[in-house]
Amino acid sequence: MGEGWVGVDGIGIQICQSPIENMNDIISFETNRLIIRDLNWDDLEFIHSIHSIPEVHKYATLDIPESLNDSKNYLEIYINQQDYNPRKEYGFCVSLIDQTPIGLIGFSNSLNKFRSAELWFKLNPAYWGNGYITEAALRLLEFCFTEMDLHRIEAGVATENLASIKTLEKIGMQREGMRRKFFLLKGSGGIIFIMQFWMRILSVRNKK
């Protein structure tokens, strides 16, 4: 494993044979069971479908799309960012080895000058409970810490979102604090604010 990677026993990760030379290139890598690659326009229908699943959006601030055009606008953000180096936003499609798309994962790199990024992920409920997001997130940490030389990866998660909290803990994240009445949700009962844990993981070589 490359220096700076934080792994978890029992999760097999197939590391890229060579580093990505140019961050403007299309990014794609594999784990034992998954393909994780940059989003493209062929992913539009999948993005629209996964964002239309209520279970996926239970703890999300993003509204369920009202039309395919809403999903197109979302996808366009990540495709446009592929022309920048460094990008501020990275979005990847998570697929099985047979190329069946099952989820999305990515991170916001808006705090690049602090070598810090914020992780996010979404998975089709039909594939919950198989460790796919854990596997994809571990590979993304490898990318962030060794190929992008980031120092810190963060994640915000609603305190009631137990499944995501468990996933973040599996990849080595620790709870750093709590934001009260910070996380805004738009549900059938109107707008509500709930508490959010703030979690983080540090690069091994910079960990103190």
Whether this model's pTM surpasses 0.75: yes
C-alpha distance from residue 91 to each of 51, 148, 187, 194 (Å): 14, 15, 26, 26
The residue ranking higher by pLDDT, 189 or 136, is 136
31 has pLDDT over 50 = yes
Secondary structure class of 98 (helix, strand, coil): coil
Residue 14 CA to its chain's centroid (Å): 18
Mean pLDDT computed over 83-103: 94
> Which residues, 6 or more positions from 168, have their beta carbon under 8 angstroms from its beta carbon?
137, 155, 157, 199
- Among candidate residues 187, 85, 167, the one with its CA nearest the CA of residue 120: 167
pLDDT of residue 157: 83
Q: Which pLDDT belongs to residue 154?
A: 87
Q: 40-44, 122-126, 158-162, 171-175: which has the minimum mean pLDDT?
A: 158-162
Domain 28-154 is found in CATH 3.40.630.30: yes
**b/e 81-114 (16+ beta carbons within 10 angstroms → b):** bbeeeebebbbbbbbeeeeebbbbbbbbbeeeee
Residue 12, pLDDT > 80, answer no
More confident residue, 176 or 153: 153
pLDDT at residue 174, rounded to an integer = 86
Q: Is the pLDDT of residue 137 over 80?
A: yes
Question: Could you count the other beta carbons within 10 Å of the beta carbon of residue 171?
Answer: 23
Over residues 27-33, mean pLDDT:
94
- The C-alpha atoms of residue 125 and residue 4 are separated, in whole angstroms, by 32
Q: At residue 13, does pLDDT exceed 60?
A: no
